[in-house]
Amino acid sequence: MKGKQKALIEAKAKVLKALGHPTRLWLAEQLADGEKCVCELAEPLEADFSTISKHLSVLKEAGVIAGQKRGKMVYYRLKVPCILKYMPCVEAVIEAGIKEQAELLE
Partner DNA sequence: AGGTTATTTGGCAAAACAACCAAACAAAAC
Partner DNA sequence: GTTTTGTTTGGTTGTTTTGCCAAATAACCT
* Listed ranges 4-12, 72-80, 82-90, 95-103: which one lies at the site for DNA (CB under 7 A): 72-80
Pairing of strands 36-37, 73-78: antiparallel
* Type of residue numbered 77: R
Give the other-Cβ count within 10 Å of 64's Cβ: 24
Residue 23 within binding range of DNA, rule CB under 7 A: yes
Give the other-Cβ count within 10 Å of 42's Cβ: 20
Interacting residue with DNA among 71, 82, 88, 101 (CB under 7 A): 71
Residue 90 within binding range of a copy of itself, rule CB under 8 A: yes
Residue ranges binding DNA (CB under 7 A): 17, 21, 23, 37-39, 42, 47-58, 67, 69, 71-74
